[in-house]
């Protein structure tokens, strides 16, 4: 509708909706909710990594003064899980525990101290089972199964796909490389712990307030597990103090507070401790990767073959989707003529992995971008030049049938290398300084919902009050990324009014139409498109009523700055409020709806559901590091990152998302490890560092300077041309740092995190071997890969 | 004397008691006393014995209470003890144990006279905690271990350890003693600067050299009786001395040391080292004086070669265990380079 330069809000930087309230402490998070007669709940976690529950006796807890209710797995036996194919969780363990911290019982008491003390009263008898704590153990152990529904032994899922003919692709290559990479697991570390409050009203309706990214999926799960019609359950997502994918599953504590509220007849709150958040997890899968790649001497990729093992942890969660994601998006940056992807996800007795910012794609992206750095050295070509030569063109299909509408990577690479003086610095770098480049791509929303249906992914409802207030209802959740601001900005833009007249009501299943939730970077694109569809008819009604009253052709009218005015800008005719009243007079109550369903963009082979998206964002990153060539200590001095955002809706929020991604990427690159103590019995399976002091993640004081460059490609699928910003910019950080470290001291670290210890070891290896060729002598990374037979791949013909 | 009995005490510094009900790891119940004189404080401690603990800044105490490393029935707050809050530069420096770390770090006189101490204080934890945490608290900091600094359910799942509630050392299962690590930043500097601590106990006051105050035992790591309170620290004049404190840790923003080195060197006009003190932190349950390494420097001009020999000798002292952040092999390998850097930093 608008020409870009005429935008009132789009592309500008305005204060985040709700931002000031957060800064001033007004925002009511889930844990801030206090209801009359409210009880406090606590869950008792398993001390064993793997054990049968022989008996549980909660009656001693119930005898403690102040304890009102206590439940076990028998009270909530219905299994659930976010994916229809992985219904393998229960709110409290029924007959076995699968990880340390797995909750087996819960109590509600008059205060938190009493609840906590009552946990000690509960008597549980366990029969320990052998624990499975690594990918290798999971592959080897056939008899002791963590889940009986696994594809085989403890292999949760096997995937094998081949696009084109990889063998013939490899035979056409001038250079071949076979590499092993390992990507350690990490957790989301949101500042706000998960928290939920439930209340059963005397109208027999259940309300759950929860810090969740996906109220709709929680709603469905509660209905299933509590065996209540969804119409009697209301789920309200409270403002989320950080999610990053860690609040996208339905969780035990959410179900437990509901059950305890129903049993006690009183509101019940449960806030997880920080330690419990580490056990709840659903974070980055540790992935062991074997990659074979062939390129021609011009750098074009003739064939690529990935074999991935994912350490899934104790439950399915999003794991099947994660498994596919470790193979789906390698193809959308550089054309790959033939592509084969095989993967297995293994159950282990550790906290379940799931979706963390980038969901399944940072691990293979790390491998691919480090691999390209090695190839650029093989060919003697600048790594930027190598990438620029071969980019997936706009309006094309990838080998695995993904539709790329626009690809801004060319501009991203050019701008980021220019800003960082990449070419010059690579030639003339000071000793112990290094510079590295990496690129990436991510989807703007999954093309398919979690459960199979053909309904819209996002719905928006708008009503306009005759006082001029415009209320927007949408199921989406603002998790700090600014989705409320996107809704407000788009509606204000379309109606030509100030943001202060737009009221946002979100994430309440009683009040708002379904939006699938804040995950997979889908919200700006999907709710944005739904909002545009909803607001357009209202704009038309207002203008048409104004035209009738003012006796001016509707084509000559517009709304801008809260006024109805002539389109040529020569005259303001009336106020927005008056025009709204004319419209209500003419049409009755002003309201409208809009919805969005993504286009069918993927292929139609089995497994094609993961990867398609309306559009893809692109990022290019340059990292500059200083590394001590004696000790291996290093610092990241500066990050330059260019991101193809399509079109920024709110520029400052986009930059915020990019910078947040850089922070999270730095943590994964440099230090973060969700790791467990090894050992079969006594200490095996205990999380090593479940606290914010001991789980190392950068603080604000550790952040380097970041220079963010936004590239706009004006994508046809996004609202005003927009793409995602929340996840993609994380992806190139880790490989850019790995490549920079190699550039600085000649040590290839083919795994994350890249710690000083590892670099030191690489430096020692180089010293003892005298010379390093292609970094192989100074290489640190996995050296063994399990010898496991993958199933025959599903063969898919590449698109014409 | 102020006296509370409340489970929800949160802000001990504010005039009124603030009740907050934000969910978190809960403090165990305790009674809080706020004596107004040292004798009163010591008398309370003597009366309650091991059921009581002194509370200064509380930045280490309260988190540990929440995780049940300590479950004192009584806390004896030190905020009202004015004697703990003075600094005096008469013939050296006498500094009260209640001075906040940020004040130590930013005090212009301390920066000038004892730069290593100001630097060490500035490197403790994070800015907010340095506003509250005290020098006395840091000097008496509990030893740390990755098996010990965990929540109650975590330690219970593992089986309790030697230091708290159990009878096994998980770091080295055959070890008869606890191997928890001295993690104070100020303690190695205090030892290097020949500091003396004034302790007040039920039998009056006494003075003990910093070097003798620390014991290489993760449980009984302080050479004092339970009632004794660290009142003040005296550091003799070090006019003309060169000194440094270097700290290794993963994040410079907040972490405890996994290795630290304090040095104090005196050179004559010809550049010959007349006296040297080198103390390693975070390599044992107490600060370790590198006596042999000091001897190598003493009486010598500090050439690169001498410094290197001294540093390598100091490194032999370090026997890190696998109970802090970062791998023990790496921490051991880093010591000689780190000592070398610390000596060179002092000489700069």
Are residues A412 and A274 both part of a single domain?
no
pLDDT for res B10 = 39
Report the residue of B5, B10, B30, B150 to disrupt the A interface, i.e. the one with the largest count of A CBs within 10 Å: B150
Domain assignment present for A144: no
Cβ(B19)–Cβ(B8) below 8 Å: yes
Residue-range definition of the domain harbouring residue A85: 33-129+191-242+247-280
DSSP per residue, B77-122 = E-TT-GGGG-EE-TTSEEEETTSBHHHHHH-HHHHHH-HHHHHHHH
Are residues A176 and A201 both part of a single domain?
no
Question: Are B326 and A694 a contacting pair at CB < 8 A?
Answer: no
Q: Which helix (H) or strand (E) segment is A582 a member of?
A: helix A576-587
Are residues A89 and A219 both part of a single domain?
yes
Domain assignment present for A146: no
Write the pLDDT tens digit of every residue in B139-168. 999 999 999 999 999 999 999 999 999 999
pLDDT interval class at B12 (50, 70, 90): very low
Res. B9: pLDDT tops 60: no
How large is the average pLDDT for residues A160-174?
Answer: 98
Res. A600: pLDDT tops 80: yes
Query: CA A5 → CA A561, A570, A646, B191, B226, distances in Å?
Result: 15, 18, 16, 68, 74
Closest CB to B157 among A271, A630, A686: A686
**In chain B, whose CA is at the least distance from the CA of A270?**
B23
Question: Are B337 and A757 a contacting pair at CB < 8 A?
Answer: no
Average pLDDT, chain A: 96
Q: Does B309 touch chain A (CB under 8 A)?
A: no
Are residues A609 and A735 both part of a single domain?
yes
Domain B2-77 listed as CATH 3.30.43.10: yes
- The CA distance from A440 to the nearest CA of chain B, in Å, is 28
Domain boundaries, chain B: 2-77, 82-142+180-347
**Looking at chain B from residue 27 to 56, which residues have their Cβ under 8 Å from any Cβ of chain A?**
29
Q: Does A100 touch chain B (CB under 8 A)?
A: yes
**In chain A, whose CA is at the least distance from the CA of B252?**
A702
Residues of A in contact with B154 (CB under 8 A): 275, 686-687, 690
Q: Which tokens hold the place of B91?
A: 């013939």
pLDDT for res B17 = 39
The lowest-confidence range among A672-686, A744-758, A762-776, B208-222 is: A762-776
pLDDT for res B2 = 54
Average pLDDT, chain B: 93
Q: Does B259 touch chain A (CB under 8 A)?
A: no
Write the pLDDT tens digit of every residue in A450-465. 999 999 999 999 999 9
pLDDT for res A602 = 85
| Domain count across chain A | 3
pLDDT interval class at B20 (50, 70, 90): very low
**In chain B, whose CA is at the least distance from the CA of A119?**
B153
Report the residue of B29, B130, B157, B323 to disrupt the A interface, i.e. the one with the largest count of A CBs within 10 Å: B157
Are residues A171 and A316 both part of a single domain?
yes
Domain assignment present for A138: no
Closest CB to A113 among B26, B254, B330: B26
Cβ(A77)–Cβ(A90) below 8 Å: yes
Are residues A548 and A626 both part of a single domain?
no
For the beta carbon of residue A229, count every other beta carbon within 10 angstroms: 8
Res. B91: pLDDT tops 50: yes
Question: What is the distance between the alpha carbons of residues A222 and A203, in angstroms, rounded to a whole number?
Answer: 18
Are residues A566 and A463 both part of a single domain?
yes
Domain assignment present for A145: no
Res. A770: pLDDT tops 70: no
Residues of A in contact with B329 (CB under 8 A): 757
* Exposure string over B316-341, b if 16+ CB within 10 A, otherwise e: ebbebbebbbbbbebbbbbbbbbbbb
Query: CA A690 → CA A101, A453, A539, A693, distances in Å?
Result: 11, 39, 52, 9
Res. A784: pLDDT tops 70: yes
Report the residue of A696, A764, A767 to disrupt the B interface, i.e. the one with the largest count of B CBs within 10 Å: A696
Are residues A9 and A117 both part of a single domain?
no
Which residues, in sequence order, are bridge partners of residue A287? A183, A310
pLDDT interval class at B5 (50, 70, 90): very low
CA-atom Rg of chain B in angstroms: 20
Q: Which tokens hold the place of B348?
A: 């700069």
Question: Are A757 and B330 a contacting pair at CB < 8 A?
Answer: yes
Domain assignment present for A154: no
pTM: 0.96
Res. B7: pLDDT tops 90: no
Q: Which tokens hold the place of A261?
A: 């509220």
Question: What is the distance between the alpha carbons of residues A342 and A332, in angstroms, rounded to a whole number?
Answer: 18
Res. B21: pLDDT tops 90: no
Cβ(B203)–Cβ(B172) below 8 Å: no
Question: What is the distance between the alpha carbons of residues B262 and B273, in angstroms, rounded to a whole number?
Answer: 16
How large is the average pLDDT for residues B217-234?
Answer: 97
DSSP letter for A406, please.
-
Question: Are B151 and A698 a contacting pair at CB < 8 A?
Answer: no
Quick one: what percent of chain A has pLDDT higher than 70? 98
Question: What is the distance between the alpha carbons of residues B201 and A632, in angstroms, rounded to a whole number?
Answer: 48
Q: Does A797 touch chain B (CB under 8 A)?
A: no
Question: What is the distance between the alpha carbons of residues A541 and A352, in angstroms, rounded to a whole number?
Answer: 51
Largest interatomic CA distance in chain B: 65
Show the 3-state SS of A714-768: CCCCCHHHCCCCCCHHHCCHHHHHHHHHHHHHCCCECEECCCHHHHHHHHHHHHH
Instruction: Please report, in angstroms and rounded to a whole number, the separation of the first and last CA atoms in chain A.
Output: 35
Residues of B in contact with A691 (CB under 8 A): 149-151
Say which CATH number the domain at A573 has. 3.30.365.10
Q: Among A574, A596, A618, which residue terminates a domain?
A: A596
Q: Which CATH number fits domain B82-142+180-347: 2.40.110.10, 3.40.50.720, 3.40.1190.10, 3.30.465.10?
A: 3.30.465.10
pLDDT for res B206 = 97
Are residues A637 and A759 both part of a single domain?
yes
Are residues A497 and A579 both part of a single domain?
yes
Domain assignment present for A153: no
pLDDT interval class at B19 (50, 70, 90): very low
Question: Are B23 and A31 a contacting pair at CB < 8 A?
Answer: yes
In the A/B pair of chains, how many CB contacts fall below 8 A? 85
Residues of A in contact with B252 (CB under 8 A): 701-702
Tokens 């001009």 correspond to B301
Residue B13: is it exposed, middle or buried by C-beta count within 10 angstroms (0-12/13-18/19+)?
A: exposed
Are residues A629 and A543 both part of a single domain?
no
Q: Among A256, A280, A304, which residue terminates a domain?
A: A280
Question: What is the distance between the alpha carbons of residues A89 and A80, in angstroms, rounded to a whole number?
Answer: 5
Domain assignment present for A55: yes
pLDDT for res A774 = 53
Chain centroid to CA A542: how far? Answer: 39
pLDDT for res B25 = 86
Q: Three-state DSSP class for A119?
A: helix
**In chain B, whose CA is at the least distance from the CA of A699?**
B253
Question: What is the distance between the alpha carbons of residues B97 and B56, in angstroms, rounded to a whole number?
Answer: 9
Residues of A in contact with B166 (CB under 8 A): none
Tokens 């696998």 correspond to B322
Closest CB to A686 among B26, B158, B327: B158
Q: Which tokens hold the place of A799?
A: 């698109």
Q: How many Cα atoms are found within 13 Å in the side-chain-facing hemisphere of A31?
A: 18
pLDDT for res B13 = 39
Question: Are B23 and A45 a contacting pair at CB < 8 A?
Answer: no
Question: Are B251 and A671 a contacting pair at CB < 8 A?
Answer: yes
Question: What is the distance between the alpha carbons of residues A319 and A150, in angstroms, rounded to a whole number?
Answer: 12
∠ CA A6-A7-A10 to the nearest 5 degrees? 160
Are residues A108 and A228 both part of a single domain?
yes
The lowest-confidence range among A425-429, A724-728, B285-289, B341-345 is: A425-429
How large is the average pLDDT for residues A63-83?
Answer: 98
Question: Are A113 and B7 a contacting pair at CB < 8 A?
Answer: yes
Reported ipTM: the value is: 0.93
């Amino acid at each position: 509708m608008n020409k870009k330069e005429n935008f009132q809000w789009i592309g500008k930087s305005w204060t985040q909706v709700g931002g000031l309230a957060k800064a001033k402490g007004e925002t009511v998070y889930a844990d801030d909710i206090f209801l009359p007669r409210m009880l406090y709940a606590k869950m008792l976690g398993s001390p064993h990594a793997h054990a049968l529950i022989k008996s549980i006796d909660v009656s001693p807890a119930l005898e403690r003064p102040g304890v009102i209710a206590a439940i076990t797995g028998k009270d909530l036996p219905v299994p659930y899980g976010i994916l229809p194919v992985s219904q393998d969780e229960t709110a409290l363990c029924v007959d076995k525990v699968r990880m340390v911290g797995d909750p087996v019982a819960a109590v509600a008491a008059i205060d938190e101290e009493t609840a906590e003390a009552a946990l000690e009263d509960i008597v549980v008898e366990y029969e320990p089972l052998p624990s499975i704590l690594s990918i290798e153990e999971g592959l080897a152990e056939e008899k002791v199964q963590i889940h009986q529904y696994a594809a085989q032994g403890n292999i949760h899922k096997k995937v094998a796909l081949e696009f084109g003919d990889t063998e013939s692709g490899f035979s056409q290559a001038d250079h071949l490389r076979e590499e092993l990479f390992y990507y350690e697991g990490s957790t989301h570390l949101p500042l706000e712990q998960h928290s939920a409050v439930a209340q059963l009203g005397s109208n027999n309706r259940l309300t759950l307030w929860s810090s969740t990214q996906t109220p709709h999926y929680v709603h469905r799960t509660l209905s299933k597990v509590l065996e209540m019609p969804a119409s009697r359950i209301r789920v309200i997502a409270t403002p989320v103090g950080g999610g990053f994918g860690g609040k996208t599953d339905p969780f035990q504590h959410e179900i437990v507070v509901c059950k305890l509220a129903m049993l006690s007849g009183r509101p019940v709150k449960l806030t997880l401790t920080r330690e419990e958040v580490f056990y709840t997890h659903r974070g980055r899968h540790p992935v062991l990767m074997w990659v074979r790649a062939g390129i021609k001497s011009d750098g074009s990729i003739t064939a690529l073959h990935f074999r991935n093992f994912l350490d899934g942890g104790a439950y399915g969660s999003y794991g099947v989707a994660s498994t596919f994601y470790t193979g789906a998006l390698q193809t959308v940056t550089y054309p790959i003529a033939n592509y084969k992807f095989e993967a297995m996800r293994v159950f282990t007795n550790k906290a379940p992995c799931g979706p963390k910012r980038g969901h399944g794609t940072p691990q293979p992206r790390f491998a691919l971008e480090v691999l390209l750095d090695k190839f650029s050295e093989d060919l003697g070509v600048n790594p930027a030049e190598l990438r620029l030569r071969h980019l997936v063109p706009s309006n094309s299909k990838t080998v695995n049938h993904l539709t790329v509408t626009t690809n801004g990577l060319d501009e991203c690479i050019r701008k980021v290398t220019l800003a960082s003086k990449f070419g010059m610095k690579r030639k003339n770098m000071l000793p112990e300084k290094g510079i590295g480049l990496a690129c990436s791509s991510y989807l703007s929303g999954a093309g398919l919902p979690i459960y199979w249906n053909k309904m819209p992914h996002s719905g928006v409802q708008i009503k306009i009050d005759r006082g001029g207030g415009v209320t927007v209802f949408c199921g989406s959740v603002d998790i700090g990324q600014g989705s409320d601001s996107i809704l407000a900005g788009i509606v204000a833009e379309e109606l030509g009014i100030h943001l202060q007249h737009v009221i946002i009501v979100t994430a309440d299943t009683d009040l708002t139409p379904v939006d699938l939730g804040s995950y997979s970077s889908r919200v700006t694109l999907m709710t944005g498109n739904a909002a545009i569809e909803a607001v357009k008819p209202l704009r038309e009604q207002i203008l048409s009523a104004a035209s009738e009253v003012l006796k001016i052709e509707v084509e000559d009218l517009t709304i801008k700055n809260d006024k109805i005015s002539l389109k040529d800008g020569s005259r303001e005719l009336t106020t927005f409020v008056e025009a709204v009243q004319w419209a209500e007079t003419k049409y009755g109550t002003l309201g409208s709806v809009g919805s969005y369903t993504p286009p069918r963009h993927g292929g139609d082979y089995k497994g094609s559901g993961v990867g398609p998206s309306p559009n893809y964002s692109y990022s290019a990153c340059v990292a500059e590091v200083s590394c001590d060539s004696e000790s291996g200590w290093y610092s990241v001095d500066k990050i330059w990152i260019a991101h193809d955002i399509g079109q920024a809706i709110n520029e400052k929020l986009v930059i915020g998302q990019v910078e947040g991604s850089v922070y999270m990427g730095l943590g994964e690159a440099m230090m973060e490890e969700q790791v467990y103590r090894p050992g079969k019995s006594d200490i095996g399976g205990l999380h090593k560092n479940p606290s914010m002091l001991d789980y190392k993640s950068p603080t604000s004081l550790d952040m380097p300077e970041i220079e963010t460059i936004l590239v706009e490609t004006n994508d046809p699928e996004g609202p005003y041309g927009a793409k995602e910003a929340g996840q993609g910019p994380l992806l190139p950080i880790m490989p850019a740092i790995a490549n920079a470290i190699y550039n600085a001291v000649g040590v290839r670290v083919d795994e994350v995190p890249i710690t000083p210890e590892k670099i030191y070891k690489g430096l020692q290896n180089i010293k003892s071997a005298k010379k390093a060729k292609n970094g192989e002598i100074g290489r640190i990374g996995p050296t063994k890969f399990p010898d496991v037979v993958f199933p025959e791949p599903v063969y898919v013909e590449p698109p014409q | 004397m102020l006296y509370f009995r409340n489970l929800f005490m949160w802000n001990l510094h504010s005039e009124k008691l603030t009740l907050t009900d934000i969910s978190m790891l809960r403090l165990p119940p305790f009674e809080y006393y706020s004596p107004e004189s040292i004798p009163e404080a010591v008398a309370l401690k003597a009366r309650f014995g091991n059921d009581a603990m002194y509370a200064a800044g509380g930045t280490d105490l309260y988190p540990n209470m929440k995780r049940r490393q300590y479950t004192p029935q009584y806390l004896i707050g030190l905020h009202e003890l004015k004697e703990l809050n003075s600094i005096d530069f008469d013939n050296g420096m006498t500094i009260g144990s209640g001075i906040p770390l940020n004040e130590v770090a930013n005090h212009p006189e301390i920066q000038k006279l004892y730069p290593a101490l100001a630097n060490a204080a500035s490197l403790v934890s994070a800015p907010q905690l340095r506003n509250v945490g005290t020098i006395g608290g840091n000097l008496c900091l509990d030893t740390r271990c990755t098996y010990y600094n965990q929540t109650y359910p975590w330690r219970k799942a593992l089986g309790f350890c030697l230091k708290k509630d159990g009878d096994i050392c998980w770091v080295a299962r055959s070890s008869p003693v606890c191997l928890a690590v001295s993690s104070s930043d100020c303690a190695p500097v205090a030892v290097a600067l020949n500091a003396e601590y004034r302790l007040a106990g039920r039998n009056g006051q006494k003075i003990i050299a910093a070097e003798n105050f620390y014991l290489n035992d993760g449980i009984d790591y302080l050479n004092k009786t339970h009632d004794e309170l660290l009142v003040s620290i005296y550091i003799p004049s070090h006019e003309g001395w060169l000194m440094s404190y270097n700290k290794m840790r993963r994040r410079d923003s907040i972490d405890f040391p996994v290795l630290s080195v304090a040095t104090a060197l005196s050179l004559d006009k010809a550049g010959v080292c007349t006296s040297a003190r080198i103390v390693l932190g975070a390599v044992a349950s107490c600060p370790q004086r590198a006596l042999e390494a000091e001897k190598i420097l003493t009486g010598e001009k500090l050439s690169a070669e001498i410094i290197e020999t001294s540093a390598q000798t100091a490194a032999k002292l370090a026997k890190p265990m696998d109970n802090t952040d970062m791998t023990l092999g790496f921490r051991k390998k880093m010591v000689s380079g780190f000592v070398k850097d610390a000596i060179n930093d002092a000489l700069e």
